[in-house]
Amino acid sequence: MTMLKIENLHVRVAGKEILKGLSLEVKSGEVHAIMGPNGAGKSTLGYVLAGRDGYEATQGRIEYDGRNLLDLEPEARAAAGMFLAFQYPVEIPGVNNTYFLKAALNAQRKARGESELDSMQFLKLVREKLAVLHLKEDLLNRAVNAGFSGGEKKRNEIFQMALLEPKLAILDETDSGLDIDALKMVADGVNAMRAPDRAFLVITHYQRLLDYIVPDFVHVLADGRIVESGDASLALRLEEHGYAWIAQRKLAGAA
């Protein structure tokens, strides 16, 4: 079943066109990797899907779960099962992690017409998910991402994903800044969540993460468009030849 359908998407940020006719279809249960050089528009894709202000779709459409995604506020997208793991998770001093997560989970549940979790039920759920990510419980008493190391921030993103159990998870360069142990933990967390009714969009610059999270499809994003799609082996060829190889192939094809 098609979960996400992006057609001819053009997105403008601060007056500049970043996505220039991007099309992509993601079905339930699939893991898609989006690779591409710096500045290709990878993070813009993540932000426009999550609904960040200032990322303006000027053309095209995004259908998510049968609805026009662009009509929904960010919180409504979250309640509908969308999750973005940030490349740069935001530090929010003074806001307690547990309080924030409980507010988020219960707001989503309320919006979906489900019953809210009480403190006991919530803590039980949190402890289960912390164990999977090898995160310490003291993380819960700290402020959101405040003073976290780079690796802790990224693991905290995946922990939030595990807790919120989205239908479509977008991982924006979750591998950047991670050492190999942290990378494996993150990949284990993602792989444990792979399910027939859930899809992943894994945005990455390097092939390394895809050794651990093996995608069903790999797309190359360059200059605001998907210029090449293939299976997991495309990532390996990219790693071998570099992004310039794609550009050359495009030129050859055009000639």
Partner 1 sequence: MDGLLDEFGSGDAQARAESWRYSRQALRALEQQEFKGADGKATVPRELIERFDWPQTRGHRLVFVNGVLDAALSDASTSGAILETAADGAHTLRFAGKGAMHLVFANVATATPARWNAAVHVRVDSGKAFLVEQHVGTQGADVLGALASQFTIADGANLQTATLGDLPGSASLVRRVEATIGAGSAFGATHALCGGRFQRFDIDAQLAGARAQIAARGVFALRGREHVDVHLDVRHAARDTASDVLWRGVADGRARGILHGAIAVAPGADGADARLQTKNLLLSPHAEIDAQPVLEIYADEVKASHGATVGQLDERALFYLRSRGVPLAAARNLLIAGFCREAFARIEATDLRGPFEALLDAHLPQQQQASE
Report the interface residues with partner 1, using CB under 8 A: 50-53, 73-75, 77-79, 83-84, 86, 89-90, 92-96, 99-101, 103-105, 107-108, 111, 143-144, 160, 164
Could you identify the residue written with the tokens 């792989």? 191
d(CA 103, CA 158): 18
Residues 125, 106: Cα–Cα separation, whole Å:
13
C-beta of 13 vs 214, nearer to partner 1: 13
Q: Are 156 and 167 in contact (CB under 8 A)?
A: no
Give the H or E element holding residue 17. Answer: strand 16-27
Provide the minimum distance between the beta carbon of 88 and partner 1 in the complex, in angstroms, as a whole number.
Answer: 9
Q: Rank residues 108 and 204 by Cβ distance to partner 1 and give the closer one.
A: 108
Q: How far is the CB of 84 from partner 1 (least distance, A)?
A: 5
Beta strands in 173-247 (DSSP E): 199-204, 217-222, 225-230
Q: Which is nearer to partner 1, 53 or 138 (CB)?
A: 53
Question: What DSSP character marks residue 23?
Answer: E
Using the minimum distance from each CB to partner 1, give the nearer residue, 110 or 241.
110
Shortest Å, Cβ 213 to partner 1? 21
Q: Which is nearer to partner 1, 119 or 233 (CB)?
A: 119
CA of residue 43 relative to chain centroid, distance: 9
Rounded CA separation 251/106 (Å): 51
How far apart, in whole angstroms, are the C-alpha atoms of residue 229 and residue 66? 24
Taking CA atoms, 234 is separated from 5, 61, 153, 202, in Å, by 22, 27, 29, 14
Least Å distance, CB 200 to partner 1, is: 16
Residue 105 vs 202, nearer CB to partner 1: 105
CB of 23 to partner 1, least distance (A): 24
Residue 60: helix, strand or coil by DSSP? strand
* Cβ 175 to partner 1 shortest distance, Å: 20
